[in-house]
Structure 1
Amino acid sequence: MRKNGRVTSEPANPPAPARPARLIATDLDGTLLRDDKSLSERTVAALAAAETAGIEVFFVTGRPARWMHVVSDHVHGHGLAICGNGAAVVDLQGGPGNHRFVKIRALSREASLTVVDALRTAVPGTSFAVERTGGIHHELTYPPLHLDPAASIAPAEKLLAADSDVADQPVLKLLAYHPELAPDAFLRVAREAIGDRADVTRSSPTALLEISGAGVSKASTLALCCAERGIGPDEVVAFGDMPNDVEMLTWAGASYAMGNAHPDVIAAASGRTVANNDDGVAIVVERLVAERLGGRAVQGSTPDESA
């Protein structure tokens, strides 16, 4: 069933992990968060119930650590998040503004400069931002897409210079913006131009690309974190809505595309839930917790909301 063009009911036969779920990996924007960037009471309760039942919850996002205040009050235990599309694992337990980097998978200066040169040649008119552990730096022509003041404004080559004032801060990702190309077209051209020198993805509705080190993605960093805990992919349930979630959804034993998801995400996931504004993640998590508790209902669910 659809409402306003979005799926509003779960699939008849939703997937289940091959083994009982031990970890939930969820994207934030367009997935766990509503469009107004809030967390519903139902979602907060479902995540808390999962942690109480012994299922770890990992927030896996393209956001930088400094934007994690939206969930830092709801970490319920481990307090870890994978940020920057896998470039950093962050401990959120200190609260907003007090995060700690646990793991960093940086994009090297040399690779960054190679990417900038390749995209300037292949797609004239591209502007860049450099996301470092201490903040964002961007070119004058790069649009301020978020209320996030730049630490400095200069050409990308200068921002990446070895003698930069912030050269000691690792580069987590580059952002590349084009004012005219369609988002998916820009992604295709950029991947062809860059090849295997870096990982390129997107999560914005605009022509904004996110570029990480080669082999760095939500999936690869999640796999590292799970291996450290003795958790296999068949014990992971993942949720996402945009192309930067595709690898994670493919890697996880069970995965859900949101009702508002990009077509590539729907194709990659093993199942589908309702849209982010309709508590799509919470509906599935409530069922996972009920299964773990032997069929007992989770507070907050009703027969017409959870299968």
Structure 2
Amino acid sequence: MPISKNSLFVSDLDGTLLRSDTTFSAFSGRVINRLISSGVRFTFATSRSPEKALSLVRGLELQLPVICLNGAVTVDPTTGRWLTVEAVAPAIVEQLLRIGQLVGTCPFLLGEDDGKDTLMHLPPRNPVQEAFLAQRAGEPRLRPVDALRPLQQTLSVAFIGESERLQELSDRLAIEYSDQLELRLMSDIYFAGGATLEISRRGVDKVECLSSLCRALDAFPADVVVFGDHLNDLPMFSFAGTAVAVANAVPEVLAAAHIRCGSNDSDGVARFLDDIFQIEAASAQ
């Protein structure tokens, strides 16, 4: 794998850089911070919201913009300022809410409202939604309501529930909104039989933001090394010169990877980077 001063390393979070309990290990933080301080370019791309994503890797001394909500927003990690925003039109959000009611499943709305990072939701209606909210208990962005409405900036509409029902919904929306929306149906890595249908504005995905970041850094796709585990990482795998799948990745991601590293629970990303740059060995001398 060619490494140069132009190399750019980009990691997914859940299931990749984070362990299965969503923690970020001290080892990973130590290795990556030493890389960054030595001039290595590193950032992350995630489906998480900006505030939550940065809180999960607190202590990581990132300098480059981070990609959140699958590319709907990019953020300056040092200030928390949103650099780019790609919101879903309020009229489209209203239509999605009506369709959700018709099929018996209501979405979660992620974005910005009253100047705050917001996750607006109704009371949970199935075990997958209960598990989703339990993982986020106590987060200040949670906003339980009796009736949903578009946020001031709705960046993502997420239907959460049983896989079969969401597949039917995805098929329907693909016919009606193929020219307006990006649809990502993914199995839930934390709840067996569950799935999430993430919906964003057409043209919004991780790779578009990654391409923009490359232009800003005078980097080429061949300079990019990406780490991932799930289907929403596949566009980045196609874009990057080197695609690295963690050992716990889904079969489609493992098949698309150029290289495999250890699992997320064994700090596979950090150990892969340490093998290349010998950060831990150098620090021990």
Q: Fold-level match, TM-score > 0.5? A: yes
TM-score, normalization by structure 1:
0.76
Q: Displacement, 1:75?
A: 2.2
Q: Secondary structure at the match of 2:44?
A: strand
Name 1:111's counterpart in structure 2. Answer: 92
Q: Measure the CA separation in 1 of the matches of 2:73 and 2:144.
A: 22
Please state if 1:298 is matched with 2:283: no
Contact 2:41–2:64 (8 Å) recurs in 1: no
Percentage identity across paired residues of the two chains: 25
Q: Displacement, 1:178?
A: 3.1
Contact 2:234–2:253 (8 Å) recurs in 1: yes
Which is helix-richer, 1 or 2?
2
When residues 117 and 224 of structure 1 are mapped into structure 2, their CA distance, relative to the original with a 3 A threshold, is: farther
When residues 284 and 127 of structure 1 are mapped into structure 2, their CA distance, relative to the original with a 3 A threshold, is: same
Name 1:276's counterpart in structure 2. Answer: 264
Q: Measure the CA separation in 2 of the matches of 1:69 and 1:222.
A: 21
RMSD of Structure 2 on Structure 1 (CA): 2.7
Q: Residues 1-307 of structure 1: matches in 2 within 5 Å?
A: 16-17=1-2, 22-67=7-52, 68-76=54-62, 78=63, 80-94=65-79, 99-117=80-98, 124-133=103-112, 134=116, 135-141=118-124, 143-144=129-130, 145-146=132-133, 147=137, 148=139, 150-156=142-148, 159-160=149-150, 167=151, 169-179=152-162, 181=164, 190-192=173-175, 194-203=177-186, 204-205=188-189, 206-288=194-276, 290=277, 297-300=278-281
Q: Displacement, 1:278?
A: 1.2
When residues 274 and 174 of structure 1 are mapped into structure 2, their CA distance, relative to the original with a 3 A threshold, is: same
Contact 1:256–1:270 (8 Å) recurs in 2: yes
Q: Displacement, 1:180?
A: 6.1
Q: Secondary structure at the match of 2:84?
A: strand
Question: Any idea what the Cα deviations from partners look like across 1:7-51, whole Å, max 9, x if unmatched?
Answer: xxxxxxxxx248665211101111001112222232112212321
Contact 2:183–2:199 (8 Å) recurs in 1: yes
When residues 18 and 119 of structure 1 are mapped into structure 2, their CA distance, relative to the original with a 3 A threshold, is: farther
Q: Displacement, 1:141?
A: 4.7
The code of the aligned residue for 2:25 comes to: S
Contact 2:47–2:69 (8 Å) recurs in 1: yes
Question: Any idea what the Cα deviations from partners look like across 1:133-182, whole Å, max 9, x if unmatched?
Answer: 230112345534132463242444xx12xxxxxx5x31111011234627
Q: After superposing the two structures, state which structure 1 stretch, 42-51 or 254-263, moved more.
A: 42-51
Q: Measure the CA separation in 1 of the matches of 2:167 and 2:281.
A: 38
When residues 284 and 202 of structure 1 are mapped into structure 2, their CA distance, relative to the original with a 3 A threshold, is: farther
When residues 185 and 284 of structure 1 are mapped into structure 2, their CA distance, relative to the original with a 3 A threshold, is: farther
Q: Measure the CA separation in 2 of the matches of 1:195 and 1:120.
A: 20
Residue segments in structure 2 that go unaligned for 5+ positions in a row: none
Contact 1:236–1:253 (8 Å) recurs in 2: yes
Q: Measure the CA separation in 2 of the matches of 1:185 and 1:283.
A: 40
Contact 1:89–1:103 (8 Å) recurs in 2: yes
When residues 36 and 253 of structure 1 are mapped into structure 2, their CA distance, relative to the original with a 3 A threshold, is: same
